Structure 1
Amino acid sequence: MHQSVTSDAEPAAEPSGPPVAPPPRGRRRVPLGAALPLVGALALWQYAVLRTEPAELGGFGLLDALPAAYWAALALLTGGFWHCVRAPRRGGGWPLTYVLGLLLMERATQALVYPTPLYAWAWKHDAVVDHLLTEGRLETTGERLGDMAVYDQWPGFFAAQAALVRLTGAQDAAAYMAWWPLVSGLLLLAPLVLVYRTFTRDRRIVWTAVWLFCVANWVGQDYFSPQSLAFALYLGVIAIVLRHGARREGRVLLTALLVPLIVAIVVSHQLTPVMLGAGLAALCLTRRHRSWAPLVTLVVVFLAWNLTVSLPFLREAVPEMVRAFGDVRGNLETGYGSTPTGTGPVTVSWVARMLSGAVLLLAALGVLRRKALRNRARPLMLLAGAPLLMLVANDYGSEMIFRVLLFMLPGACFFAAAALLPRDARAEPASAGVAGAADAGSGSGGFGGAGGFGGAGRPGARRRTVAAGAALTVLTAAFVPAYAGKDRLSYFPPEEVELVRQVIDGAPRGSLVVAAHRNYPLAYASYWDVGHYWFLEDAKSHVEEVLDDPAGTLARDMSGVAPPGRAYFLLTRGQIANSEMNGMLGADELRHIERSVAASPLFERTGGNSAGVVYELRRTTGDSS
């Protein structure tokens, strides 16, 4: 009887040849070929972290500060992984250990180098957690909190973080959110491995696909955010459905296990349930993995939530969603304020695009050349293609293209790994039929050349193996500029955090903080008591008015604050960096605005340091409190 290709058991048969004596009992030796590169890479990485000084970041972000030892560590780690994952008897946990080392270098470097958490959006989410901790309840309408009320309508992630803050006794979520990228990366490992092992017993493909996913996931959705947790839950649901969803036995228990995951996704994030629905619907097109219960459960929970708790938001958002539906070109545009400007930002942007393009091209190559694997893993092709439908639906705040890429990666990286590797007949029994025979006999399933591990001895196979390893190294190195190349605008030094904190702590209830852009820490702090306004997000005509008469225009914009509230103008290095690097206003123009405010009798300087300055709008005679 033909053995099921979805079985996780290792094949019983071994290649012909003399029997191999079992290793003697006792202490097992640590293979130096696997251990030494890992130890050396981690030692170099630790040295590099200690030598990295982020005080002055340029247009290339963290790349300007990283020493050569970091790149040597990354190359050594990738080479050790490639040697380890291809070795025929290098089993055990070595591939996993190398992937963990990669996650450390990728996701923990910034947490160790920077003394404060990255990303203005992470600080925004910290403010939402603080709102739950301070107010102790959710807001069901936008009348009080404006646009921020939407977070209270999808509170799953924030409620969980508020509970974690209370449980750990931390002052706030900022105490640990710098480490969230590493945490979210670790959360993805188990579901990724389960998904890949559903379609292959070749551990080389499994772990190379996991490695490629870690490398290709540069889009920055792993920071302290609902998306990061929702994506891990999404992969968990997909993994369970792929492995057990179509089995009749235990289907009730399976659905009961999926319900908590689906509910957590629905109450935490707006987009992920839609992506999950598209993925589950795609799986229903297959016979082996068809399971209607998870899809029906998702639809019921999704409708129940959106027609009750999140209905206030949807009433305002649906007209815009209808307008954007079908406008693929508009949904792909990034819009004003998102155009990289300058040598560093432009270069980094192109490296990121080429990294994504290379992985997708490798995936296409793997699909074309590995016929048996393509037939067996057709559900992964469907899962990779389903997110593309969202490009028709909405622009998602000019971020849809990045979200689509994120949800395509699990399937794409599987076939990209297959393109880099030759076929192993022992771990990949060919599917019945012509397609399977073709894949088994061709021996050219990847860069590695000949099929199986024995192909390394054929002419040219060694060169192809080296070429595949070099390609993997280049892709791994490209992750660094794609992921950390914009740290000049993502990093906020302690002086900037302290300056903003002084403004927020000293602002009476009903105050207003005006800034050029929201890219600074604590930009949403106390948003339930203090208003925030960023003039670069207005129409270009109003920005031009600010440039023509900075002090007069800003004073008019800030004049509506009623006592005891106060109005503050804040300019920080984070705002300047974001404005310059994204093609809004240059540093000279922003400094011109600051000089006008400083010289105006309408404003009074109330604070400042090396990271920024703050001015308060003077009260008129009739405004005394």
Structure 2
Amino acid sequence: MRPPTTPRERSAPEPAPESTPAPATHGEAAPDRASGPRAPSSSEPSSPAHEPVTDLSDLPPVRPGRHGPAALLPGLPLLTALALWVYAVRHTDVSRLDDFGLVTALHPAFWAGLAVLTAGFWVTVRDPRRPGGWAAAYVLGLLVMERATQAVLYPTPLYAWAWKHDGVVDHLLTAGGLQTADQVGDMAVYDQWPGFFAAQAALVRLLGVESTAMYMAWWPLVSSLLLLLPLLLVYRTFTEDRRLVWTGVWLFYVANWVGQDYFSPQSVAFALHLGVLAVVLRRYGRSGGAGGRQGQAVWTVVLSALVVAIVISHQLTPAMLAVSLLALCLARRYRGWIPPVTTAVIFLAWCLTAALPFLSAALPDMVRSVGDIGGNVATGYGATPTGTGAVATSWAARLLSGAVLLLAVAGVWRQRVLRHRAMPLLLITAAPLPMFVAGSYGSEMIFRVLMFMLPGAAFFAAAALLPRVRTLGAEAGDGTRTPAPARGGLRRGAGTGGPLLVLLAVTLAFVPSYSGKDRINYFPPEEVALVQRLFDEAPEGSTVVAANRNYPLAYASYGTVGHYWFLEDDRRHVDEIVRRPAATLARDMAGVGSPGRAYFLLTRGQFANSEMNGQLTGEQLDRIRESVAASPRFRLVAENGAGAVYELRPERPGGAQGTGGAQGTEGAQGTEGGAER
């Protein structure tokens, strides 16, 4: 079962302390509001119950804001960048994408705007005179340029998997309830994890729209905004240094290229995952006190509700959450077993009841993959990228991830205080790594592990780009202090040129990593109209045969129409189709019984996916289409610039009935495991 390739709100104000702490003097440390207890002064003994608490803030208090035009100066780069973005999207043509996807199609003004935005953010976030709201504004500007560009440029939603999930929601609305494998075959996996789809069905009814296709193009922006609040809460648990917090947020968003922000259960489950971690980090530490224990009962209810929403929506995220919470228990301040036990109980209860039919069938393959680290990682890259554009964008994505992970290692090594103060976040970052042993997750485990590591990795990577911070208390419990920073909060000689270039490089690398395969992921309106016509005319019991599943509406009417993708069949059978296309396909499709019909569909999206992933070349697919078009066994049903649909004519009396791959359509349509699951 193969998962899809390719997942914010403003931060709530911190609870006000009971009294305003006095500024730290040479003999005492300011209290750490994120952790609760006051850090001991130099005269107080250090004990396990009162560990020395450090604070990563090395900035002087923000000076009173300027008034008049000078107060708006930090916004000039932001406004300039957004103006360049608007100009770029108005002058970008996506009608003819090449193998570099959106990278070569974008107007040069887009790249200039992204560079101006990055430079403006870096200068603003490092200036102690600027309030934190400017950093937040720049991050929101980044999200608009990153995640809204495709929604504005493309007239139809991206990603075949997003269209698949639209089909699942539509089927749920049509069927009026959940169904079993006897009714919908392998697609019943979605009815066994229905949380996301049931919520979307309710939203469709509430909004009064025709389907989720009306808004799912904007889902990457929405799901990215959902991550902002829990991300800020997690980071502010360990520091009040706004430079570190906002630079970490920036790096998280530019390194999150994996593509799980599209219309999928994973996009929401990941935000809930971060929400659970934020609750545990901020409310389940060793703060002591009866009042704190009573308050935890309320937060346990909140945590349980979040975990239930995750468990009923996605298969992998609860397992990732469980290992993260277990890792937190290894930290001295998080010995409470309520969060991991609650998560495990809810997860197991669902697996042993609603999800049991799917897990029973998938268990043998899951057991075989346990411990096969090499195989689990090797299959993570899926099909082999073919062509200059596909190879270049693939390497851009790998280099981007590698750069952020290396920066994270450098941040842990360079900022010594992080190894103590942010140890819980370091454990959460490393926690997903053992999942390589658990399985390949349909050839996608490497991408999922990277995504779940990214929140912590971005935080430590940001520390590598910033000057060495000082602590207000004893550093790492060793009684030493780091020297105070130079005037303005920056250590002498730290410089800004090198870190700015690094930040600019990773920000620009996001575009090819995230949008470099848009030739595969974009379906023009003509292609959508062609496929829509096919499913409007196909009677119940019909089968649609195609090269691969990369076309819109591929799962429309899956309760009544079967699918067969011949490029997912045995390689010998694919070679036979290439040698004798019409005859072989006619034999494969002959098993469809009346009143159903057998259709052959070939579209632009299938060509792009096959060519860029090293399956069949464009010439081979053209030869298959020409053979089908010339065969008397087929008749043309519909055709436009995006593809064509052919129908297999009824078998002549006395003719042999074929037994090809199309007869197993229900099994074929589940080969990716229902995985986005």
Same fold (TM over 0.5): yes
**TM-score, with length taken from structure 1:** 0.93
Matched, 1:129 2:169: yes
Structure 2 partner of 1:493? 524
Question: Cα–Cα, structure 1 residues 617 and 288, in superposed 2: closer, same or farther, change >3 Å?
Answer: same
Deviation, 1:332, is 1.2
Q: Which amino acid aligns with 1:429?
A: L
Structure 2 partner of 1:289? 334
**TM-score, with length taken from structure 2:** 0.86
CA contact (8 A) 1:496 1:572 kept: yes
SS of the residue 2:333 aligns to: coil
Matched, 1:556 2:556: no
For 1:447-495, what per-residue CA distance to the aligned partner results, in whole angstroms no more than 9, with x for missing partners? xxx6674436x3x433xx1110111011100000000000000000000
Question: Cα–Cα, structure 1 residues 199 and 337, in superposed 2: closer, same or farther, change >3 Å?
Answer: closer
Structure 1's unaligned 5+ residue stretches are 444-449
Structure 2 partner of 1:275? 320
Structure 2 Cα separation of the partners of residues 377 and 14 of structure 1: 16
Structure 2 partner of 1:382? 427
CA contact (8 A) 1:563 1:623 kept: no
Structure 1 partner of 2:225? 186
Matched, 1:309 2:354: yes
1:413-492 aligned at under 5 Å gives the runs: 413-425=458-470, 428-432=471-475, 437=480, 440-441=482-483, 453-455=488-490, 458=492, 460-462=493-495, 465-492=496-523
SS of the residue 1:613 aligns to: strand
CA contact (8 A) 2:590 2:651 kept: no
Structure 2 partner of 1:255? 300
Structure 2 partner of 1:371? 416
SS of the residue 2:639 aligns to: strand
Structure 2 Cα separation of the partners of residues 57 and 20 of structure 1: 48
Structure 2 Cα separation of the partners of residues 451 and 563 of structure 1: 82
SS of the residue 1:334 aligns to: helix
CA contact (8 A) 1:338 1:583 kept: yes
Structure 1 Cα separation of the partners of residues 197 and 237 of structure 2: 33
Q: Which amino acid aligns with 2:87?
A: Y
Structure 2 Cα separation of the partners of residues 52 and 254 of structure 1: 48
1:63 to 103, 127, 130: 103
Matched, 1:582 2:619: no
Structure 1 Cα separation of the partners of residues 174 and 353 of structure 2: 24
Structure 2 partner of 1:599? 630
Structure 1 Cα separation of the partners of residues 63 and 195 of structure 2: 55
Deviation, 1:403, is 0.3
CA contact (8 A) 1:372 1:435 kept: no
Q: Which amino acid aligns with 1:469?
A: L
Structure 2 Cα separation of the partners of residues 236 and 526 of structure 1: 35
Deviation, 1:6, is 5.7
SS of the residue 1:146 aligns to: helix
Structure 2's unaligned 5+ residue stretches are 1-27, 37-53, 288-292, 656-677
Q: Which amino acid aligns with 2:494?
A: A
Deviation, 1:8, is 7.4
For 1:244-287, what per-residue CA distance to the aligned partner results, in whole angstroms no more than 9, with x for missing partners? 01353411111011111000000000000000000000001112
Structure 1 partner of 2:254? 215
Structure 1 partner of 2:131? 91
CA contact (8 A) 1:423 1:452 kept: no
For 1:84-126, what per-residue CA distance to the aligned partner results, in whole angstroms no more than 9, with x for missing partners? 1000111141111000000000000000000000000000000
Structure 2 partner of 1:325? 370
Structure 1 Cα separation of the partners of residues 246 and 230 of structure 2: 13
Question: Cα–Cα, structure 1 residues 15 and 286, in superposed 2: closer, same or farther, change >3 Å?
Answer: closer
CA contact (8 A) 2:633 2:649 kept: yes
Q: Which amino acid aligns with 2:644?
A: V
Structure 1 Cα separation of the partners of residues 203 and 649 of structure 2: 42
For 1:302-341, what per-residue CA distance to the aligned partner results, in whole angstroms no more than 9, with x for missing partners? 1111111110000111110000000011111237961100
For 1:410-430, what per-residue CA distance to the aligned partner results, in whole angstroms no more than 9, with x for missing partners? 1100000000001343xx425
Bigger helix share: 1
SS of the residue 2:650 aligns to: coil
Q: Which amino acid aligns with 1:106?
A: E
Question: Cα–Cα, structure 1 residues 280 and 23, in superposed 2: closer, same or farther, change >3 Å?
Answer: closer
Structure 1 partner of 2:403? 358
Deviation, 1:556, is 1.4
Matched, 1:7 2:24: no
Structure 1 partner of 2:264? 225
1:117 to 139, 157, 178: 157
Structure 2 Cα separation of the partners of residues 278 and 466 of structure 1: 39
Q: Which has the higher contact order (CA 8 A, sep 6+)?
A: 2
